[in-house]
């Protein structure tokens, strides 16, 4: 089946750089703003930028929250980036009282160490932890990716952890995977060759 790539447009994400990265790899994603548009695609990217609560409010306003839950539950290919990763969890300290998509157990928490510069911004080694993962084919053990965030998911099921990152002595879950679900705290579209390779692996998994 020919791959048809859709990208969630909830009015707050940094879409252009993700679109450009996909185009470099020969794919031109179509923006999705309505639930009924999802049925036209085989693969989905959710680029993330903005606050947890604002993004969830936008998904509910557009009627996309439940369809996204159903897409993931059906095992369809999904790549979440930054907030598109965090929204998969149940809740976030960034927006108390706002429920996430809840497809993955865990809470998104803020970095707590006083000596750490917040947000965590820049390049960091990211250790991938799953053997025989289709997403990490061709990578060294600890490739570098670009991060921009103040919050990260905690209490993540170890069986879902796909990669970890150490920031100033705090190790956090930098990526999760389960079948066709893959999501990262870092930004592959800002991570040059490594990011393009990761996206390409997703497209070909």
CA atoms of 77 and 81, how far apart (whole Å): 13
To the query of whether residue 55 is one of the catalytic residues in this protein, the response is no
* C-alpha 113 chain-centroid distance: 24
Give me the catalytic one of 22, 55, 82, 165.
82
Q: Strands 181-184 and 78-81, how do they pair?
A: parallel
**Is position 115 annotated as part of the catalytic site?**
no
Please list, in sequence order, all residues whose beta carbon lies within 8 angstroms of the beta carbon of residue 148, skipping any fewer than 6 positions away. Answer: 82, 119, 120, 121, 187, 190
Whether 131 sits among the annotated catalytic residues: the reply is: no
Q: How do strand 30-32 and strand 120-128 relate by DSSP bridges?
A: unpaired
144 token code pair:
């570098």
Residue among 120, 149, 173, 189 flagged as catalytic: 189
Name the residue among 16, 13, 10 with its Cα closest to residue 29: 16
Catalytic residues: 82, 187, 189
């Amino acid at each position: 089946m020919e791959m048809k790539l859709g990208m969630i447009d909830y009015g707050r994400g940094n879409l252009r750089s993700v679109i450009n990265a996909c185009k470099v790899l020969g794919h031109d994603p179509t923006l999705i703003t309505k639930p009924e548009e999802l049925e036209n695609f085989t693969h989905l990217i959710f680029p993330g930028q903005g606050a947890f609560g604002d993004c969830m409010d936008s998904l509910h306003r557009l009627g996309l929250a439940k369809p996204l839950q159903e897409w993931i539950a059906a095992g369809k290919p999904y790549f979440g980036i930054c907030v598109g990763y965090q929204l998969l969890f149940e809740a976030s300290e960034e927006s108390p009282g706002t429920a996430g998509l809840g497809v993955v157990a865990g809470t998104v928490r803020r970095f707590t160490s006083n000596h750490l510069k917040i947000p965590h911004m820049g390049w960091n080694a990211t250790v991938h932890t799953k053997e025989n993962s289709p997403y990490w084919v061709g990578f060294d053990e600890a490739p570098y990716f670009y991060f921009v965030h103040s919050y990260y998911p905690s209490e993540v099921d170890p069986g879902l952890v796909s990669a970890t990152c150490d920031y100033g002595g705090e190790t956090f879950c930098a990526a999760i995977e389960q079948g066709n679900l893959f999501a990262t705290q870092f930004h592959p579209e800002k991570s040059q060759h490594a990011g393009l390779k990761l996206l390409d692996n997703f497209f070909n998994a």
